[in-house]
Amino acid sequence: MSPQLTYTAIKDIPGVVDSLRNTFNSGLTKDVDFRKQQLRQLLLFMNEKRDDLMEALFSDLHKHRMESNIGEISSIIDECQYMIKNLDRFTKPITTAKRFKMNALDKTIIRKEAKGVVLVIGQLATNACLSSNTAAVITKFLPDYIDKRAFSFVNGGVEETTTVLEQRFDHIFYTGNGVVGKIVMKAAANHLTPVTLELGGKSPAVVAPDADLDVTANRLVWGKFFNNGQTCVAPDYVLVSKDQQEKLIIAIRKTLLSYYTANPQNCDSYGRIISTRQFDRLKGLLDHYDSSQIAIGGKSDREDLFIEPTILKSISYKDEHIMQQEIFGPILPIIPVDHMEQAIQIINVRDQPLAMYIFAKSPAIYNNILDKTNSGGAVVNDTLMHLQELSLPFGGVGASGMGSYHGEKSFDTFVHERSTMIKSTGFESMLAARYPPYNDDKDTMLSFLVYGLPSTASSKFKALMTVWSAAWNILFKNPANP
């Protein structure tokens, strides 16, 4: 049985943030060995509390253990292991190749320094009424593993989140919808705090005329109904040629039957809607369509938070209901098009999506679509898999978000690259070329240091003589401290 979640007292929130800032200012969390130890402890938590987490995810979402393992647990374990192995390399200062000749003998490095106190906002933490069981498990057990001086939870809803956003942070990372994303960004602007926003959106799937429809159906259905369609990168609508729409629906029907049986409500591999509020929103969308447009599914059970895998057909890209918002649920509209160029046009009249899926055999076809569109990420002949491949940076563009993470990009997101120059106190006589009072000799010397010598041999020789004469005058006729 999952522990009960308790909301954080609003009056305690400022003190929580102040305590974390004191910890950061003490230097504790800057130590690389300390950070690696915290990662080892997080790894231990994920392994030892795996069953508790899976049970909580099932309670919240009716999520099968396989989906929990693939979609939630394995990626965290992989990232912990990757960071432990590579953190020394990531934190090592980078020496730069000098371009200004006056700095040739000096040391120039880029220090990788933690930004400071970071706020991470996700549905587990800020919408406890949604994933309350999972949030409760993390809140109860994680403090037993990780140094409590270095992190803290704030659980609650709108009021608690609003109070958190009133505090000053050094970076804010938010995963969720665009409406709240704008609120987060406005709050961050009050403190000029940088943000990473992963916002989702309506991610299209384009099925080209040469696509293998059986494979397409398998991968499209898996990606759409993984976690009951409640992922930020779920295929949100399908663009397919008019003469292939019925063939695709037949293939999808076959796949749905094999995945979730004829009665998905009794299938332990099929999830549930996260809350009554979200169920009502999705049911409200479905109520706008009749049997002529519901090609597959459409049944629902509010008490069980169940909505059958539903395929809508012959939907207009201008549809005033299903095409006006991210669906975030087990409903997939199909939009028939005359040709792939029309599909591209439909994609481009909308905000940039977080993900794009293209099913095509021909590189000419899928490269044409990629070249003429934009999205946070893209996958050809599959869905969701780019999110699982942690060597690829993950993030949005435009309305689907800003910034990216995964692997080294996760490290970079929370790091300030501090440009540092360590100058020698020698060679002051030569450096005097930059000091007032200015004259022609100093101008000649600085021009050489900035622009170098001409490319032709004859001009190069003449310029060298001029530079040599200027250097002589600066050193011996017009010294910096006569």
What pLDDT does 479 receive?
55
Can you tell me the distance from the alpha carbon of 404 to that of 75, in angstroms, rounded to the nearest whole number?
A: 16
How far, CA to CA in Å, does 79 sit from each of 141, 277, 405? 20, 33, 11
198 is catalytic: yes
Write down the catalytic residue from 55, 80, 160, 232.
232
- State the residue for tokens 């207009």: 316
Write down the catalytic residue from 55, 79, 160, 198.
198
| End-to-end Cα, the chain, rounded Å | 84
Instruction: Mark residue 455 as left, alpha or beta (left: phi above 0; alpha: psi -120 to 50; beta: remaining).
Output: alpha
Can you tell me the distance from the alpha carbon of 273 to that of 302, in angstroms, rounded to the nearest whole number?
A: 9
80 is catalytic: no
| Residue whose C-alpha is closest to residue 342's, from 204, 202, 246 | 204
| Residue whose C-alpha is closest to residue 142's, from 69, 65, 47, 70 | 47
Asked whether the beta carbons of 215 and 197 are under 8 A apart, the reply is no
Strand order in the sheet with 294-296: 294-296, 310-312, 331-337, 235-241, 203-207, 355-359, 377-380
The per-residue b/e assignment along 281-290, b for 16 or more CB within 10 angstroms, e otherwise, is: ebeebbeebe
- State the residue for tokens 């916002």: 199
- State the residue for tokens 């809607």: 273
Can you tell me the distance from the alpha carbon of 256 to that of 224, in angstroms, rounded to the nearest whole number?
A: 11
Strands 94-95 and 404-405: unpaired
Asked whether the beta carbons of 175 and 122 are under 8 A apart, the reply is yes
Phi and psi, residue 90, nearest 5°: -65, -35
Residue type at 239 in one-letter notation: L
What pLDDT does 449 receive?
82
Can you tell me the distance from the alpha carbon of 418 to that of 411, in angstroms, rounded to the nearest whole number?
A: 14
Residue-by-residue pLDDT tens, the chain, 482 positions:
567 788 999 999 999 999 999 999 999 999 999 999 999 999 999 999 999 999 999 999 999 999 999 888 999 999 999 999 999 999 999 999 998 888 888 999 999 999 999 999 975 433 334 578 888 999 999 999 999 999 999 988 889 999 999 999 999 999 988 999 999 999 999 999 999 999 989 999 999 999 999 999 999 999 999 999 999 999 999 999 999 999 999 999 999 999 999 999 999 999 999 999 999 999 999 999 999 999 999 999 999 999 999 999 999 999 999 999 999 999 999 999 999 999 999 999 999 999 999 999 999 999 999 999 999 999 999 999 999 999 999 999 999 999 999 999 999 999 999 999 999 888 787 778 888 988 999 898 888 888 888 877 778 888 888 888 888 888 777 654 44
Query: In sequence order, which residues have a C-beta less than 8 Å from that of residue 8 and are 6 or more positions away?
Result: 16, 153, 154, 155, 156, 160
Q: What is the pTM of this model?
A: 0.90
Q: What would the pLDDT profile of 146-165 be if each residue is shown by its tens digit?
A: 999 999 999 888 899 999 99
